[in-house]
Chain A
Amino acid sequence: MAAGVAAWLPFARAAAIGWMPVANLPMPVAPAGKNKRQDEMIILNVSGRRFETWRNTLDRYPDTLLGSSEKEFFYNEETKEYFFDRDPDVFRSVLNFYRTGKLHYPRYECISSYDEELAFFGIISEIIGDCCYEEYKDRKRENAERLMDDQEDNKDAKPPNMTCRETMWRAFENPHTSTMALVFYYVTGFFIAVSVITNVVETVPCGTSPNQKEVPCGERYTVAFFCMDTACVMIFTVEYLMRLFAAPSRYRFMRSVMSIIDVVAILPYYIGLVMTDNEDVSGAFVTLRVFRVFRIFKFSRHSQGLRILGYTLKSCASELGFLLFSLTMAIIIFATVMFYAEKGSSSSKFTSIPASFWYTIVTMTTLGYGDMVPKTIAGKIFGSICSLSGVLVIALPVPVIVSNFSRIYHQNQRADKRRAQKMQKARLARIRISKQGTSNAFLHSKRNGLFSEAPEFTQLPYKMNLSEQSSTEEDQRLNKSTSLLESQHHHLLHCLEKTTNHEFVDQQYYQQSYLEAGLQNYPSRSPSLSSRDGVSGTCCTRRSKKQHAPLQNASGPAHMQPLTQVHAHPRGLQELSTIHIQPLSTSRSSLNMRVDEPASLNCQSSQITTAIISIPTPPVTTSDGDAHLRAGPAHQNVVKVSAL
């Protein structure tokens, strides 16, 4: 339950009087309050700075250090205050969280010291308010990256027992790990450079042949160039095969961009080898040589900047697309206009609209080759408008791309953004789960809660025996788990159950009973849940019906087997492992939606167990003489213990 709302609990309980005339069943007993302690001031001494607050304020969050009994460890008897040897500045935020219900992150604070304080006081960082959460997450991410970078630099230790394959892969991916890897890295880099230079020099004209024609070096020194090419391709092939061998997932490796570049870089050579004798396709063979230039992309394994550029282009795909689209639009418009403007003039180069495209592009990008020039006045006017607008259209998306590049360069990874999105969802999920704690807590304490009330009202002798027999650990556990506020809240919910004569159950149980109701008209199951309460002094028929429940249960776990496990406990308690509960704030119209629910009933596969709930077997009445549980008599107390 949230902070300030605790103050309204008395109001909500008082308003419950509105249910009373409507209810048909008697209400459960209210938990006794330790009233006198409520209005107490607590002094918290944090490294000398004294903070004072009400005890209530701290009790709002019972699962933190200050809200639970854990703070008793820090109690100083002489000075009658709680002393914490922590940072008083950060403690301000922590205490304000109790007061206002919102946790703020002060900007001047170091992120790791803040995290430590939160961890010390038992507060999860997900509940930082929205006003400060972005800042907090950014700082945290930065810090984590910095730490990770440091770690990577220090990552010298090689984990032992790596197979040859893993070693090789590691060497390929991270050349700094061993000398061999570094050597390999530089050798491949060298050969890439050699190959590219060879391709370039091949086309330079050097010397003349006897028939006075300039020949490129490639044709003059064919053998030399062929040997160079062969050597490079052999190295690349060997490298590719080795990477393929070392890759942990070969299929994934083959699909990766780098491997495709590798393949494209060496294929032309092999195709050339195969096709060398066939003169007809030599033209195609020559074209294939173009692909050899792709070898230069192999450098991207060696250069971080190239990779970032690639990422940028990928991430700016939408801006690039917009740029292209707007350019295309402008080109078509202006080309059309120029064509019709220049149609009149003679010997015009603007022979068709596609022919005008060239002029428009050259003008818009302010190149202005001058091979196509408008001659009419209208053409010149539109030409100038074209060049002015070209500047605008191109200048607009470019800064976006530039800023994108700079952002990515600083962030360094596109994967970080994806991780952040997942974190956001995870954060919301965590907050939701912690809020679900309320409904979970109620259902949980429904099973156990009455135990804490009963001992105070015991009047019958056998009950006294029972309370002595009860294990102290269970009592302690229960006392610890429900603060006064919680027990009052649960009492309120319990009253509501009584008013409507229905019980709160968890999602899984509800789905079960839906199925059952579908199968048989009479929802007979429901084992132990309902059997515990609902026993009233006046409703005999109901009581007897409940008594039959355990018998059914004993015989009918067959249904339940796939979903729950029922163990017979020596003390007569049955334990069900439950799946976690979704808080449903659904209106009654959703009651009609039966169709979807049973679909998710594959509880067998879902392994989430949030609570092992101890469910007492149905209370046996005193007439049976079976002094099992205190739960039963608690209800009988409703009959006996009258006006308080």
Chain B
Amino acid sequence: SGGGCPRPVMAAMSPPSSSSGGPEPPPPPLQYSLLLQHLVGEQRRPRAWDPTALGGIPSPPKSEEQKMVERAMESCAFKAALACVGGFVLGGAFGVFTAGIDTNVGFDPKDPYRTPTAKEVLKDMGQRGISYAKNFAIVGAMFSCTECVVESYRGKSDWKNSVISGCITGGAIGFRAGLKAGVIGCGGFAAFSAAIDYYLR
């Protein structure tokens, strides 16, 4: 269709327009058929293809299963689950460690002068560890999930993602205790995330 337009298109179109003007004839209207030839037809300018642009290093195409697995591993849900498990383990370790250096572990309010048995102490340490672990797991999952969502939305990967998601997480946690606590939580957690990010980058 457009490729078969002959050259005299320009010459045929310009005389009618120049006869209407005075000393300066108006420019001839745009020849879309010519433009098409220049863009995708025979007269397009040859481009020097950079061999690295098309993946100069030959590699085998990825199979469907590989692509699916990679997509699953990069998804936000997987990252949140990973952070949840990691947070659980870290929180458990932290809780048990803090219980180990705490003097009040195994304290029996009914009989404060009795030395607690080993079983009571261990049970108390375990409870404390579990409680810390759950908290850390929830916080970690929330932070990772919000960071992934924010990064997917913005399409960029820089320090602002962790600050924004830190503010959201801290705000959500602190909001249960009131608006002011929410704001403080947002600021504190955002600053903490920014510091960690700065250290890691």
A and B: interacting chains: no
Residues of A that sit less than 8 Å from B by CB: none
Residues of B that sit less than 8 Å from A by CB: none
